Structure 1
Amino acid sequence: MPFSSLLAPRSKTDHAKQLRDYFTVIENEQDKEKKSYEDAIKNIHKTLIALKDGLFGPRDGSSEPAISDVSQLCSGIYTQDLMTIMINNLSRVTFEDRKEIVAIFNNLLRRQVGAKYPAVDHIIQRPGILFKLIEGYENADIALNCGMMLRESVRVQELADIILKSPDFYKFFDYVQKSTFDIASDAFATFKDLLTKHKPLCAEFLERNYDQFFNKYRDLLNSENYVTRRQSLKLLGELLLDRYNFSVMTKYITNTDNLKQQMNLLKEKSKNIQFEAFHVFKIFVANPTKPKAISDILLRNREKLIDFLTSFHTDRTDDEQFNDEKAFLIKQISELKDTKA
């Protein structure tokens, strides 16, 4: 089919239907050597470009697409359920076409009509789109593409809420420990966005799922993967020090196992991990209402802790805040008094 025919001034919804038909061919045809399969792949490429140009305007930036044309095009995409179909077939299309799909998907998510975001409403009615994107981390060929679309989705609170309330959220605890650095890092970026983008929502999630979440999070802090361990520790500090998570922080710092874990992380060989552990450990020490069990651990280790902190990261002479905090912790620990149960 000539490329020009894809851009002919007929109903924009036809392009969406054509694309759906081409995807149906590659879904059903197992023999990739067949001409019908090859033709469908070529036509998918052409039609994706046509759709993208219809949404973004000509690639040379010479003009803006007409609002009525864009509206008609989007209507066709939603009617044909192309968002679902494109995601389901992400692994079947070419590397370049995956990038086109990401661009189209993210553009649709940002598109506002009045006070509404039609793509968001569309996905809310089809949450399987989000779960399919999460599952994409299991396929190295499409993991990073799925990550880009997931993070765009997570910017929308209603979509982030769907993921946080799903058992699929806990898959991230495996994905962030993948052996492939790029995939693990991308998964962690999405994981972090889910836990920090919408603070009241995230605080509610952590409070409601405290035990399940932190039992799994403790494993991340013990991960054999250095990058995972460091990123998880840094994120933990950010979560605990966020004012929205005050009740979560209060619960976390009354647990003796959490304190022991942070004290062990302070002794890690990596200075970066030591430093991140310091910023979590300081919350335990600074707590003015320490439970007796926490105070007892600090008291038993008082001399060792004071000696350790005195010589801890002494090369950070220009970091005034760190040195002030370190001096404060040493003072707090030295002034601890034994309390009766």
Structure 2
Amino acid sequence: MSFLFGRAKEKEPADAVRRVKEQLLKLDNPIARKSAQDEAAKYLRLIRIELQGTQEAEPVPEKVYTIAQETFNYELLPSLATALPKLDFEARKDATTVFNCLLRYTYNNAQPCVLYLASSRPDTIITLVAAYANSETATNSGAILREAFKYESLARVALYDQSFWDFFTYVQGGRFDISSDAFATFKELLTRHKVVVAEFLASNYDEFFTQYNALLNSENYITKRQSIKLLGEILLDRANYNIMTAYVDSPDHLKLCMNLLRDRSKNVQYEAFHVFKVFVANPKKSKPVEGLLIKNREQLLRFLPKFHEDRKDDEQFTDEKAFLLKQIEALGPQFPMQGQPI
């Protein structure tokens, strides 16, 4: 990566980068580990201050430049990603800040750190995703990943690696703070770069929604609520029009959504309403979807007027509910269907 920088301009910061790398290499040695942790923490703190500045002083551009250059020379970022579980708490925080400062660093209208990771060390992103399996490093890796996913090339790395599917485990298992953090990262990955995500969903439609529907059936209330809300955002995004039309063609998806309208949580019910309205408002309903709506027509006409009546001050919700009632009322045929409603 030196071609992006030319020759280094400062030597002092380079020494701190070198020393951190040396200490990281000692962390697997039981005898040297404690000393290596302390030394790594000391130099990570120095690097963090140089990159971030203080209340009294802004970062010095020449020093930031040199730190970035030496970070590539010593391949510090991949090493930090691997070593996160072996660092102490404060050092992990400093490592996270160092990582994110370097991701944001711009030189000659480019982000050299982003280019380096995407082109030379994409495995670093995969290592950080896998860190969600470790409760001690999950939130640190999450903070780095959310910063990394602001850049399309790094988001693409995560989307198209097999480790992407591990997010479906991370967002609903373990401690609340970790699963919530994982969901925030998952959401960032699925909403930031719309064209890339639309391509990914089109290529992986069946597997994605098979796993996503499992989140909607989760016994974890937070997972279910966050998942149905995110689904609404995905389906209503114009970039995902083809995904939306495919999703609302499925009667199984409609059944799932209608069941969520009756969930014991009012928040889940409300978010499910915003997905349900896409099925009803679709002017080109598939025959199975239209048939299911007709089968449940009378039940829906009784159910919807009482649905979240306490939201009378929410004018948009009231208007949307009235619109759906008209659409459902207009469905035919107007005679009893055989079979029971879902």
TM (norm. structure 2) is: 0.92
Indicate the larger mover: 298-307 or 40-49: 40-49
> What is the CA distance between 1:39 and its match in structure 2?
2.2
Number of the residue aligned with 1:314: 309
Change (3 A) 1:92 1:201: same
Number of the residue aligned with 2:173: 178
Please give the per-residue CA displacement for 1:179-206, whole angstroms capped at 9, x wherever unaligned: 3110110000000011101111111111
> What is the CA distance between 1:56 and its match in structure 2?
2.6
Structure 1 distance, partners of 2:250, 2:200, is 20
For the residue of structure 2 that corresponds to 1:277, the secondary structure is helix
Structure 1 distance, partners of 2:287, 2:26, is 68
Instruction: Give the root-mean-square deviation of aligned CA atoms.
Output: 1.4
Match of 2:195 among 187, 193, 200: 200
Is 1:189 equivalent to 2:184 in the alignment? yes
Q: Which amino acid aligns with 1:12?
A: P
Number of the residue aligned with 2:37: 41
Match of 2:287 among 275, 284, 292: 292
| Contact 2:51/2:59 (<8 A) preserved | no
> What is the CA distance between 1:93 and its match in structure 2?
1.1
For the residue of structure 2 that corresponds to 1:90, the secondary structure is helix
Number of the residue aligned with 1:237: 232
Structure 2 distance, partners of 1:245, 1:314, is 31
For the residue of structure 1 that corresponds to 2:323, the secondary structure is helix
Q: Which amino acid aligns with 2:177?
A: D
Change (3 A) 1:10 1:277: closer
Structure 1 distance, partners of 2:205, 2:309, is 36
> What is the CA distance between 1:214 and its match in structure 2?
0.6
| Contact 1:296/1:338 (<8 A) preserved | no
Is 1:326 equivalent to 2:321 in the alignment? yes
Please give the per-residue CA displacement for 1:15-39, whole angstroms capped at 9, x wherever unaligned: 2221111111112x12xxx4x3332
Indicate the larger mover: 181-190 or 202-211: 202-211
Structure 1 gap ranges (5+): 1-8
| Contact 1:22/1:44 (<8 A) preserved | yes
Number of the residue aligned with 1:80: 74
Please give the per-residue CA displacement for 1:267-286, whole angstroms capped at 9, x wherever unaligned: 11111111111111111111
Please give the per-residue CA displacement for 1:229-288, whole angstroms capped at 9, x wherever unaligned: 110000001111111111110111010100111111111111111111111111111111
Query: Aligned ranges for residues 114-263 of structure 1 at < 5 Å?
Result: 114-124=108-118, 125-263=120-258
Number of the residue aligned with 2:27: 26
> What is the CA distance between 1:11 and its match in structure 2?
4.3
> What is the CA distance between 1:85 and its match in structure 2?
1.0
Structure 2 gap ranges (5+): 1-9, 335-342
For the residue of structure 2 that corresponds to 1:201, the secondary structure is helix
Number of the residue aligned with 1:278: 273
Is 1:53 equivalent to 2:55 in the alignment? no
Structure 2 distance, partners of 1:12, 1:276, is 51
Number of the residue aligned with 1:103: 97
Q: Which amino acid aligns with 1:56?
A: Q
Q: Percent identity?
A: 44
Structure 2 distance, partners of 1:194, 1:168, is 13
Q: Which amino acid aligns with 1:98?
A: R
Number of the residue aligned with 2:337: none
Q: Which amino acid aligns with 2:33?
A: Y
Structure 2 distance, partners of 1:159, 1:246, is 24
Structure 1 distance, partners of 2:65, 2:255, is 58
For the residue of structure 1 that corresponds to 2:106, the secondary structure is coil
Number of the residue aligned with 1:6: none
Structure 1 distance, partners of 2:36, 2:222, is 42
> What is the CA distance between 1:60 and its match in structure 2?
3.9
> What is the CA distance between 1:63 and its match in structure 2?
4.5
Q: Which amino acid aligns with 1:23?
A: L
| Contact 2:261/2:268 (<8 A) preserved | yes
> What is the CA distance between 1:305 and its match in structure 2?
0.7
> What is the CA distance between 1:122 and its match in structure 2?
1.6
Is 1:12 equivalent to 2:6 in the alignment? no
Change (3 A) 1:235 1:68: same
| Contact 1:172/1:187 (<8 A) preserved | yes
| Contact 1:206/1:248 (<8 A) preserved | yes
